[in-house]
Amino acid sequence: MDTMSLNDFIKQLDDLAESATARFNEAMDKIDRDGLEAARIEFLGAKSGKLKSTQKGLGKVDKEDKPQAGQRFNEVKQKIESLFQSAVDAIDGAVSSGGKSEAFDVTLPGRRPRMGHIHPITQTINELKDIMGRLGFSAVEGPEIEDDWHNFEALNIPLEHPARDPLDNFYLSTAGSNGAKSEGGNQLLRSQTSTVQIRVMENQKPPVRIVSLGRVYRPDEIDATHYAMFHQIEGLLIDTHVTMADLKYVLRLFATSYLGEDVEIRFRPSFFPFTEPSVEVDMRWRDTWLEFGGAGMVDPNVLRSVGYDPEKVSGFAFGLGVERLCMRRHGINDIRYLYDSDVRFLSQF
Ligand code: FA5
């Protein structure tokens, strides 16, 4: 009786799997149902298919190799059957999605992936930074987790001041309550970018001309113009003989550069512990005046707290809401749209 080594039998199986794969793939590429059926009969046909005739070789393999040969045969059989099924599915899919020519028309233009957008607030920040850069203000950053000294004390906000109220600030759990130590132990999410003024002046001799844009946090009730996390743009200029007229000039130039020549701005007398005199900066929008931020001449106490001599230098500072500028520019009437992460809204910018 004919015999066959295990290796020869395995080689026959591998050759069979290879040629069946080639035939199925060819039929798939051409979306050729008839070709696939012919290949099925050739390889998987119940009576005279190649798999069937290869199976006959199993009887010629040595008895002790039979279990291994049988196992290998079953693996290859399963592989060929599942390849055939994949080819059937692929041809069905191609035909139902528009037929032979369309599914494989390499001349069709590709589908463009959807592009992401830079968030409108980030766009605003970049633009504001550019405008201030052209006016000679260099951009600096400060930490969002601040200590008592930079957020309050050095800004002339003493221990008993209501601005420190725990209801108006996000103190971190490491911090004590209002009225606790003021040596920098109390940490909070900064409530204003004015903290950066202090950090810069502590490390730099006058003249100073900086702008800082970043996130600030307040437990405000959320409505159309308030959010618990928002952004501010802070400007600071310290030099000899700086006056309120310089402040007005720079702010007006800033506003017209960002919002257009027709923008109207006005200053209202106000109070901030770290500026004297202080003003509220309003801009007109759709016939109503809206508050965009605060400004003023840096208080001599603040200059002293960072080691400057208020007899020799003076300066102005301002802090405006970035969201409000962005909303005014784009006609957005509710701040919440900016943070709802709705792509239909965001993709307009
Ligand atoms: C300040 O934060 C001062 N640090 C501004 C300043 C800087 C004054 C330098 C003087 C010198 P105020 O709390 O008013 O000021 O906030 C400034 C602006 O931030 C507001 O006019 C508003 O535009 C914006 N703002 C305040 N709270 C919110 C909020 N919850 N959501 C969105 N924007 C807000």
| pLDDT tens, residue by residue, 299-337 | 999 999 999 999 999 999 999 999 999 999 999 999 999
pLDDT, tens digit (0-9, with 9 covering 90-100), for 165-177: 999 999 998 655 4
pLDDT confidence tier of residue 184, bands split at 50, 70 and 90: very low
Q: Is 170 helix (H, G, I), strand (E, B) or coil?
A: strand
Q: Quick check: CB of 151 below 6 Å from ligand 1?
A: no
Inter-axis angle of helices 66-96 and 6-29, to 10 degrees?
0
Whole-structure pTM value:
0.70
pLDDT, tens digit (0-9, with 9 covering 90-100), for 109-156: 888 888 888 999 999 999 999 999 999 999 999 999 999 999 999 999
Q: Position of tokens 């209801």?
A: 167
For residue 102, pLDDT over 80 is answered with: no
Q: Quick check: CB of 316 below 6 Å from ligand 1?
A: no
Q: Quick check: CB of 142 below 6 Å from ligand 1?
A: no
Q: Quick check: CB of 315 below 6 Å from ligand 1?
A: no
Tokens representing residue 207 in the block: 């003249």
Q: Quick check: CB of 220 below 6 Å from ligand 1?
A: yes
Residue scoring higher pLDDT (112 or 80): 80
- By alpha-carbon position, which residue is closest to atom 15 of ligand 1? 294
For residue 183, pLDDT over 60 is answered with: no
Q: What strands lie across the sheet with 208-217, from one edge to the other? A: 138-139, 208-217, 229-239, 314-321, 288-298, 275-285, 265-272
Cβ–Cβ < 8 Å for 260, 145: no
pLDDT reported for residue 18: 94
Q: How far is CA 114 from CA 22, 107, 110, 300, 347, in A?
A: 36, 21, 12, 54, 10
Q: What is the mean pLDDT of residues 285-305?
A: 91
For residue 100, pLDDT over 90 is answered with: no
Q: Which of 194, 227, 318, 325 to mutate to test the pocket of ligand 1 (most atoms within 8 A of CB)?
A: 194
Q: Position of tokens 């840096």?
A: 298
Q: Which residues pair with 318 in a beta bridge?
A: 235, 295
Kindly give the number of the ligand 1 atom that is closest to the alpha carbon of 235.
Answer: 9
Cβ–Cβ < 8 Å for 321, 310: no
Number of helical H runs and strand E runs in the chain: 13, 10
For residue 208, pLDDT over 70 is answered with: yes
Cα of 272 from ligand 1 centre, angstroms: 11
Q: Quick check: CB of 292 below 6 Å from ligand 1?
A: yes
For residue 79, pLDDT over 60 is answered with: yes
C-beta atoms surrounding 311 within 10 Å: 8
Cα of 322 from ligand 1 centre, angstroms: 9
pLDDT reported for residue 98: 57
Residues 216 and 200: their CA atoms lie apart, in Å, by 18
Q: How remote is the C-alpha of 153 from its chain's centroid?
A: 34
Residues 65 and 302: their CA atoms lie apart, in Å, by 93
pLDDT reported for residue 105: 74
pLDDT, tens digit (0-9, with 9 covering 90-100), for 9-52: 999 999 999 999 999 999 988 889 999 999 999 999 998 899 99
Kindly give the number of the ligand 1 atom that is closest to the alpha carbon of 222.
Answer: 30
